[in-house]
Amino acid sequence: MADGNDEQRQRPQDAEANGTILRLDGIRKTYTNGVDEEVLFGVDLELKTGDFAVLVGKSGSGKTTLLNIIGLLDTPTAGRLFLDDRETSTLDDDERAQLRREYIGFIFQFHHLLPDFNVLENVLMPCRIRGKEYEEAARDRAVEMLEMVGLGEKIQTPVNELSGGQQQRVATVRAFANDPTVVLADEPTGSLGSETSQSVMSLMREINRETGTAFLMVTHDPELTDYADRVIELRDGRIASDEE
């Protein structure tokens, strides 16, 4: 307990000094569906502002589980996760939801847009969840980003009238609408053709450079690692390599 307090007292200075926004400390995950199945065996990881990292590994290596834990969608069985110096393992559902909407942007494998809303509304949805004032404040930036990805003409179009590539671009812009600290992407190009994949990747890279938003992307497409500054390989629930 005393250690924890010391750590918490010191961390802000550390974080300021080295720009760490996310720290995983011995994260373990065991699924108990009748039989215990351990997926993550003590993962330590740090993510800094401006990082553009790719998480690779065979299927079943625990990539998506790790990403869900980092995204506060899932809770670790053991270990601690610090998000902007806040220890998250003791938080309840709604507190984690609040952190998600303030710090994290998600890009899912399937675009997961809301079909009842148009392009701009979908992009602004994370802000709407946070509150009306955030939505108003983010509107201009959202339109600007949509123009950047070539959807400036379609901001009022219902999302189900867009092509797959266009939808994934909307989903990408949505992940940045709330000005998150970290963007987590799970196979963001998995459902796209190679040309569209490249344009989406370029877009992410551009936003990363422009805003300094940290980026962690799960993929098993080796081509995409070319875009990354850092490649983290997960093998059997452990980090096998972490190279800049």
Question: Applying CB under 8 A, which residues contact another protein?
Answer: 64, 68, 71, 73-74, 93-94, 97-102, 104, 106, 108-110, 112, 114-117, 121, 125-126, 128-132, 135, 186
Q: Is 97 exposed, middle or buried (0-12, 13-18, 19+ CB in 10 A)?
A: middle
| Minimal distance, residue 94 CB to another protein, in Å | 5
Q: Which is nearer to another protein, 68 or 225 (CB)?
A: 68
- Alpha-carbon 156 to chain mean position: 26
Q: Which single residue is written with the structure tokens 């007292």?
A: 9
What angle do the packed helices 164-177 and 194-211 form, to 10 degrees? Answer: 10
Q: Which is nearer to another protein, 168 or 230 (CB)?
A: 168
For 207, other C-beta atoms within 10 Å of its C-beta total 21
Rg for the chain (alpha carbons), in Å?
18
Q: How far apart are CA 98 and CA 22, in angstroms?
A: 16
Q: Which is nearer to another protein, 84 or 229 (CB)?
A: 84
| Minimal distance, residue 196 CB to another protein, in Å | 18
Q: Which is nearer to another protein, 3 or 108 (CB)?
A: 108
Cβ atoms of 69 and 95 closer than 8 Å: no
| Minimal distance, residue 7 CB to another protein, in Å | 27
* Residues 6+ away with beta carbon under 8 Å from 4: 87
Cβ atoms of 29 and 62 closer than 8 Å: yes
| Minimal distance, residue 105 CB to another protein, in Å | 9
SS3 content of the chain, % helix, strand, coil (to 5): 45, 30, 25
Q: Which is nearer to another protein, 64 or 208 (CB)?
A: 64
| Minimal distance, residue 125 CB to another protein, in Å | 6
Q: Which is nearer to another protein, 196 or 244 (CB)?
A: 196
| Minimal distance, residue 133 CB to another protein, in Å | 10
